[in-house]
Chains A and B, each alone.
Chain A
Amino acid sequence: MAKAENAPTVGLFVTCLVDLFRPSVGLAAVRLLEMAGCRVAVPAAQTCCGQPAYNSGDRDDARAIARLVIAAFEPYDYVVAPSGSCAGMLKVHYPRLFADDAAWSGRATAFAAKVHEIVSFLVDVRGVEGVAAAFEGTVTYHDSCSSLRELDIRDQPRALLKTVRGLRLTEMDDTEACCGFGGTFCVKYPDLSNAIVEKKTAAIAASGAGTVLAGDLGCLLNIAGKLRRQGIAVSARHVVEVLAGTTAAPAIGEPAADPAERSQAG
Chain B
Amino acid sequence: MDVGSPAFKSNARRALDDRHLQEALGHARSGFVDKRAAAIEALPEFEALRAAARDIKNHTLAHLDLYLEAYEEKVTETGGQVHYAETASQARDLIRDICLRVGAQTVTKGKSMIAEEIGLNEHLAESGVEAVETDLGEYIIQLRHEPPSHIIAPAVHVTKDQIEAEFRRAHTNLSPERDLTEPTALLGEARAILRRQFQTAEVGITGANFLIAETGTSVIVTNEGNGDLTQMLPRVHIVLATIEKITPTLEDVSQILRLLARSATGQDMACYTTFSTGPRRPGDPDGPEEYHVVILDNGRSAMVGSEFQDMLRCIRCGACMNHCPVYQAIGGHAYGWVYSGPMGAVLTPALIGIDQAGHLPNASSFCGRCEAVCPMKIPLPRMMRHWREREFERHLSPTTYRWGLRLWAFFAKRPRLYQFVTRIAMRALGNLGARKGRFRRLPLAGGWTGHRDMPAPEGQTFQEMWAQRKGTP
Contact indicator B461/A19 (Cβ below 8 Å): yes
In the complex, what distance in Å separates the CA atom of A17 from the CA atom of B385? 23
Contact indicator B415/A45 (Cβ below 8 Å): yes
Contact indicator B409/A58 (Cβ below 8 Å): yes
Q: A256 at interface (Cβ–Cβ under 8 A)?
A: yes
Contact indicator A149/B454 (Cβ below 8 Å): no
Question: In angstroms, how far is the closest chain B Cβ from the Cβ of A81?
Answer: 12
Contact indicator A193/B412 (Cβ below 8 Å): no
Encoded as 1 (CB less than 8 Å from any B CB) or 0, chain A from 53 to 83 comes to: 1111111010011001000000000000000
Q: B388 at interface (Cβ–Cβ under 8 A)?
A: yes
Q: A156 at interface (Cβ–Cβ under 8 A)?
A: no
Encoded as 1 (CB less than 8 Å from any B CB) or 0, chain A from 181 to 212 comes to: 11101111111111111010000000000000
Which residues 447-473 in B have Cβ within 8 Å of A in the complex? 447-448, 450-466
In the complex, what distance in Å separates the CA atom of A44 from the CA atom of B367? 30
Contact indicator A65/B462 (Cβ below 8 Å): no
Which residues 150-193 in A have Cβ within 8 Å of B in the complex? 150, 176-178, 180-183, 185-193
Q: B367 touches which one: A64, A145, A229, A262 (CB < 8 A)?
A: A145
B457: which A residues are within 8 A, CB to CB? Answer: 20-22
Contact indicator B401/A190 (Cβ below 8 Å): no
- A266/B391 contact (C-beta < 8 A), A65-B413, A192-B363, A250-B437 known: no
In the complex, what distance in Å separates the CA atom of A146 from the CA atom of B363? 17
In the complex, what distance in Å separates the CA atom of A215 from the CA atom of B419? 24
Contact indicator A47/B389 (Cβ below 8 Å): no
Q: B455 touches which one: A46, A192, A253 (CB < 8 A)?
A: A253
Which residues 11-30 in A have Cβ within 8 Å of B in the complex? 14, 16, 18-24, 26-27
Size category of the A interface is: 35 or more
- A255/B453 contact (C-beta < 8 A), A56-B392, A57-B385, A192-B326 known: no
> Interface-forming stretch among B9-17, B103-111, B335-343, B344-352?
B9-17
Q: B435 at interface (Cβ–Cβ under 8 A)?
A: yes
Q: How many residues in B have their beta carbons less than 8 Å from beta carbons of A?
A: 69
Q: B462 touches which one: A23, A177, A222 (CB < 8 A)?
A: A23
Contact indicator A57/B392 (Cβ below 8 Å): yes
In the complex, what distance in Å separates the CA atom of A50 from the CA atom of B415? 13
Contact indicator A145/B455 (Cβ below 8 Å): no
In the complex, what distance in Å separates the CA atom of A177 from the CA atom of B323? 8
Which residues 203-227 in A have Cβ within 8 Å of B in the complex? 221-222, 224-226
Q: B405 touches which one: A23, A56, A222, A252 (CB < 8 A)?
A: A56
- A26/B368 contact (C-beta < 8 A), A50-B412, A65-B409 known: no
Q: B427 at interface (Cβ–Cβ under 8 A)?
A: yes
A224: which B residues are within 8 A, CB to CB? Answer: 438, 453, 455
Contact indicator A56/B367 (Cβ below 8 Å): no
Contact indicator B409/A150 (Cβ below 8 Å): no
In the complex, what distance in Å separates the CA atom of A114 from the CA atom of B106? 66
Question: In angstroms, how far is the closest chain A Cβ from the Cβ of B238?
Answer: 39
In the complex, what distance in Å separates the CA atom of A199 from the CA atom of B456? 23
Q: A4 at interface (Cβ–Cβ under 8 A)?
A: no
Which residues 403-441 in B have Cβ within 8 Å of A in the complex? 405, 408-409, 411-413, 415-416, 418-419, 422, 426-427, 430-431, 434-438, 440
Query: What are the 10 A-B residue pairs with the smallest beta carbon separation, nearest first?
Result: A182-B365, A57-B392, A187-B447, A57-B388, A178-B367, A253-B455, A225-B452, A23-B462, A266-B459, A255-B437
Contact sample, A vs B, 12 pairs, CB 8 Å cutoff: A19-B461, A20-B461, A23-B462, A42-B463, A55-B388, A64-B413, A176-B369, A177-B369, A178-B367, A226-B451, A229-B452, A266-B458
Which residues of A approach B to under 8 Å, CB–CB? 14, 16, 18-24, 26-27, 42, 44-48, 50, 52-59, 61, 64-65, 68, 145-146, 149-150, 176-178, 180-183, 185-197, 199, 221-222, 224-226, 228-229, 249-250, 252-256, 262, 265-266
Which residues of B approach A to under 8 Å, CB–CB? 9, 12-13, 16, 325-326, 329-330, 362-369, 371-372, 385, 387-393, 397, 401, 405, 408-409, 411-413, 415-416, 418-419, 422, 426-427, 430-431, 434-438, 440, 445, 447-448, 450-466
